[in-house]
Amino acid sequence: MTVDGTELETEPAVVEDAHVERALEAILMVADEPMSVVTLATAVGAPVTRVRAAIDALVADYDGEADAEGRPGLRRGFELREVGGGWRVYVRPEFDAVVSGYVLQQNPTRLSQAALETLAVIAYKQPISRGAIASIRAVNVDSVVRTLLGRGLITELFTDSETGAINYGTTDLLLTQLGINSIEELPKISPLLADGADGFDDVR
């Protein structure tokens, strides 16, 4: 936060104990990357042990497990999954097809210049993490990556076991829209760059 031109550190909100599960749920619903337990604990101002218990409760809730009185719950269409040392909400595998179909059936709109540039970085440098993309483009790419994922043009390839960073790559849908059979058929980009290497060293 900035006050009179001075940057001030914003203290994380302290959530009442009774609301920890719902607060974590709200954060996880908007998270673009897996969130570690420590990060989540800091975000809600609760002890790590309390957050671990809350996560277990959310996992059970989403999975539709029976409550303390034996009453079955409602199994959700999404799940809370631990990936690369962090937690993130994912669509359940059995609903991947219907979600993908919905996304692909939406009326297409033209990609912005920022989205096209980000897509080019991913296409030529894949697999690549969000942080590496941002470093090349020198801007925050969170919303653009979400757009490209939503359009089905890129996908999550794997999560780095050491850093927890998700690495992205292009999809067959992009190949179809470009009218090519392989990413190797993309034109060499070096001749198109001012110095032949700016941000794309070691590419074709």
Mapped onto helix, strand or coil, the DSSP state of residue 171 is coil
pLDDT at 106: 64
Cα→Cα distances 88→27, 138, 150, 153, Å: 10, 26, 17, 21
**CA end-to-end span of the chain:** 43
Stronger pLDDT, 164 or 105, i.e. the higher one: 164
Q: Give the whole-angstrom CA distance, residue 134 versus residue 38.
A: 24
pLDDT at 3: 45
Q: Are 149 and 155 in contact (CB under 8 A)?
A: yes
User: Percentage of residues in the chain with pLDDT exceeding 70?
Assistant: 82
**pLDDT tens digits, one per residue of 100-144:** 777 666 656 678 888 999 999 999 999 999 999 999 998 989 989
The secondary structure of residue 105, as a DSSP letter, is H
User: The whole model's pTM is what?
Assistant: 0.59
